[in-house]
Amino acid sequence: MGTSTFAVGSLDALRALLRDGALTLREHADVVIVPTAAAFTGLTEAAVLTGAEFDECDVRVEALMVSDRAATNDQHLIDRLARADLVVLCDGSPLHARSVWRANAFGDAINAASTLVAIGAVASVLGEVMIDPRGGAPTTGLGFRDGAAICLASSDEQMWRTRSLLSDVPLVVLGPSGVVHHDGERWSVVAGDVVVTLGHDAIEL
C-alpha cells in the first residue's frame, strides 16, 4: 500500500490543507497527533493547538505524549500509530524528534503511516538528508521519505551555507503557507510559499 505524506510550513497551512480539500478524511477518521518534537517547548500545548485544527472535522483525535525514547517501547502507542488513518507530527525540534524516533518500532510505525502530516521544522527529519537548524549543515535524517531535503527558511547567510553544502539533493524550503506532498515515490509542490533549489539553482520538483 502506498503512502501519502504532506509537509506543511505551519498550522495555518494545515488549516488551509483541510479547508481546500487536498487532505481529505473519511467520516469518523482516527487522527493521531505526535508532539515529540515539542518536548522542550510544551507537548500538551502543541498537541492541543494541533488538535484544534480538526475541530470542524468529524474525526476522532488523540495525542500520544511521547517525549523520549523510553516511551517508544510502549506497544499500545505503537499499535495506535499503526491503526491511525492520519498521523500528525507537531512542529518543534527535528533533532530531538530524530533521536527519539530513530531505529525503533515507534519510528517504524510513523514511517509506515498511510497518511502522514509533518508540521514545520519537524518535516526535516523525513528525508535521508535533514538540515541541522543550528547552523544549516546537512546531516542524516530518518530516511522515511526520499527525494528531497526539507527545511524552514532561515537567515540569508544560513540558507547560502546550506545550499553550498547540499549540491546533489533538492532542497525544499517551506514558508508558513507552504505545502508539499510525497506520493510514496516523489515530492511535489501543492501550494503556498515553497522554494526548491539544487545547489544555488532554482528547480522544480
How many other CB atoms sit within 10 Å of the CB of residue 83? 10
Residue 2, pLDDT score: 83
CA dihedral 51, 62, 68, 99 (to 10 degrees): -70
CB 57 within 8 A of CB 15: no
DSSP code for 17: H
Position 21 confidence tier, pLDDT thresholds 50, 70, 90: confident
- CA dist 48 and 66 (Å) reads 14
pLDDT for 39-80, tens place per residue?
999 999 999 999 999 999 999 999 999 999 999 999 999 999
Mean per-residue pLDDT, 154-175: 96
Q: pTM of the full predicted structure? A: 0.97
pLDDT at 106: 98
C-alpha distances (whole Å) from 199 to each of 58, 170, 171, 194 are 43, 8, 8, 16
Query: Rg of the chain over CA atoms, in angstroms?
Result: 16
Class of domain 4-202 as given by CATH: alpha beta
Confidence of residue 1 (pLDDT cuts 50, 70, 90): low
Q: How many helices (H) and strands (E) does the chain have?
A: 6, 13
pLDDT tens, position by position, 78-129 = 999 999 999 999 999 999 999 999 999 999 999 999 999 999 999 999 999 9
Q: What's the half-sphere exposure (Cβ side, CA atoms, 13 Å) at 158?
A: 14
SS3 at position 193: coil
Share of the chain above pLDDT 90, in %: 97
